[in-house]
Structure 1
Amino acid sequence: MLSRLLPLSFCIVLSAYSLPKTNLSVTSEILQVAREDSGVLASDGFEDKQVAKFWHAEFRTPTAGLLTRDVHRAGKQAMRFAWKPSQYDGTNPTLHSELLTSPLPAGETERWYGYSSYMPSSSMENDSQTVIISQWHGFPDEGGAHTVPAMALSIEPDNKLQLVYRASNKPITTFLQHPTSQKVLDLGKARFDRWVDYVVHVNWDPIGNTGQLQLWQNGILLVNETGISIGYAEQHKPYWKCGLYCWTGKSTYVEKIIYYDEVRIGGPSASYDTVKPGLGDGTARMRE
């Protein structure tokens, strides 16, 4: 459960000190704001005094998660994620500054994700260390184990934007068990000091009969793969995490920062237009 939000100047702080661990539950996401298409399951424009109820927090410092007016894609606020190498104490939990959703209910495999992110060059560009900025993580069955994310979007050294997806048609029974397949996609150079819109459509299938992955960046389709093996042989398909996962525990910067805004999550009946960033009335436009 999310901890209490406290005001600080023009920001609102989501403290982590009452969250020693994150307990995920398998529930349908809460409907917050729907467009005309009923395929929207959940959304958050980060305009309130606290984040939407469908989120779970993974924050370890008072400044790891802020609702702020510093920059915003639409409306007046956005979500600011921050991570410092100084917070890393050798444990995996201190590598994260993220918000996460619940795993998909049993039997459901398809989701649409729309969001916009902003990376300041002053805290993200030309870092020598990899940072994951969006990931979809497996949810182990009873008696199962965690392994690497089923899908992740990352910034690699030399400012490379990279997407990797993995699959395993065998049960994950040991910690960090190797997936049976993996594919790495080069999406070009990362963009800084501007809002970048993303839409991700995925249909999880570790066998490869119905697996599908599509990714749009600023309205341009960069990934369009069908009949692929994607995800793990688990009852509940992956949950989404956005923010910063600095898994090397290092950074060129004293503090890394990324902003998120205009989050929408859609089910099988959703579409690109259902979840794409921008106000529901179409007045929000990209600013290059």
Structure 2
Amino acid sequence: MQSLRSKFTLFVGLSILGLATVSCDTTGHGEFSEEMTALRSTSANVLLQEDFLGSNPFGQVHKQFGTNHAFNVVEDPRDRSNKAGRFELRKNDPITSNGKRSEVLFPAQDNKDRWYSYSVFLPSSGFRTDRDNDIITQWHQAGGGSPATTVRVQNDRFLVKSGNTKESRKDFDLGVATKDVWHDFVFHIVHSPNSDGLVEVWHNGKKILSQKGGNMYPLEMPRWKVGIYKASWANRNTDTDVRVLMFDNIKVGNQRADLTEMLVGTLTAVGNAASNNTSSNSNSTVSSGSTSTSSNETTSRPSRRRWWR
């Protein structure tokens, strides 16, 4: 009966969000270069998807790994039937691509309106509290130095730092970075150095940030990076000497994507989005300035099985 109830709940959630059918159209895939072929999704508006179940994870993207422990595919700590990508960075690791990092760099894009999503897991044994920040996501621009928009973890809290100059960047608190649970994030970004820029963030299906204004430098379009980057370790010590985290269900959507397509794949995310009616797309009306909400509670999920397959 439990299995039947789960299936019924899943069906209701999918129906509410309009996911009863899945398109196999490949419209929009040509916007990425051919090196993305191995990561392309069958969804019309999802340009790429990495779930670590294939034989060659991150096989066609640029890897910035300086050691054998920098990246490995491992068993999902919450679901033994699933896999995840494990990133590890140690204080004494060699400098890689001019910094202390374990990251992957995705190809350049030709449209400023993009959606991004992933699940991230911070193990308590490998990601101890540090008053110094770790960049776990960045939108990198060549020649820009410190990135204009990033997702960071500092003192056990998730933060977005964003602006169109180094001096104007602001920190937006996204809430507690609870350990040993999966966090599902969706980002909708209109990349721009001007007032038409937009950063929207959902955590576990709930919208927690909407920020209008410049979010990149007046340079070429940014390239997305995920992993661990800890600039401080190049010249000083911090509270820790090792960082370990895991990613899963990494996706990039085109300008026609929406929250429904980018939800990372948990019943909790489906339920939260349905009950809060937080669906959004690139034509959404957002008030000037920003709104940010956070919660000290993180909803745990017993399974990471993918409902979209």
Task: State the TM-score bracket (shorter-chain normalisation).
Answer: 0.7 to 0.9
Is 1:202 the counterpart of 2:189 in the alignment?
Answer: yes
State the TM-score, normalized to the length of structure 2: 0.70
Check 1:187–1:70 CA distance in 2 against 1; reply closer, same or farther (3 A cut): closer
Which of 232, 248, 257 is equivalent to 1:248?
Answer: 232
Mind listing any 5+ residue stretches in structure 1 that lack a counterpart? Answer: 1-25, 140-144, 169-178
Aligned positions of 1:87-166 closer than 5 A: 87-88=93-94, 93-105=98-110, 108-139=111-142, 145-157=143-155, 159-166=156-163
State the TM-score, normalized to the length of structure 1: 0.74
Is 1:79 the counterpart of 2:76 in the alignment?
Answer: no
Mind listing any 5+ residue stretches in structure 2 that lack a counterpart? Answer: 1-31, 272-298, 303-309
Measure the CA separation in 1 of the matches of 2:300 and 2:91.
32
Deviations 1:192-246 (A, max 9, x none): 10000000000011121x21110001011111123x11212223x1111111101
The aligned residue for residue 34 of structure 1 is 42
Offset, 1:53: 4.2
Percent of residue pairs bearing the same amino acid type: 25
* Higher share in helix: 2
The aligned residue for residue 74 of structure 2 is 68
Higher Rg = 2
Is 1:220 the counterpart of 2:206 in the alignment?
Answer: yes
8 Å contact from structure 1 (residues 264, 276) kept in 2? no
Which of 255, 260, 280 is equivalent to 1:268?
Answer: 255
* Higher share in strand: 1
CA-based RMSD: 2.7
Measure the CA separation in 2 of the matches of 1:286 and 1:264.
21
The aligned residue for residue 287 of structure 1 is 301
Q: Secondary structure at the match of 1:69?
A: strand
Is 1:230 the counterpart of 2:215 in the alignment?
Answer: yes
Across the two proteins, how many residue pairs are aligned to each other? 238
Check 1:33–1:286 CA distance in 2 against 1; reply closer, same or farther (3 A cut): farther
Measure the CA separation in 2 of the matches of 1:225 and 1:73.
35
The aligned residue for residue 9 of structure 1 is none
Offset, 1:75: 5.8
Measure the CA separation in 2 of the matches of 1:154 and 1:71.
22
Runs of 4 or more, structure 1, over 4 Å off, are 72-75, 282-286
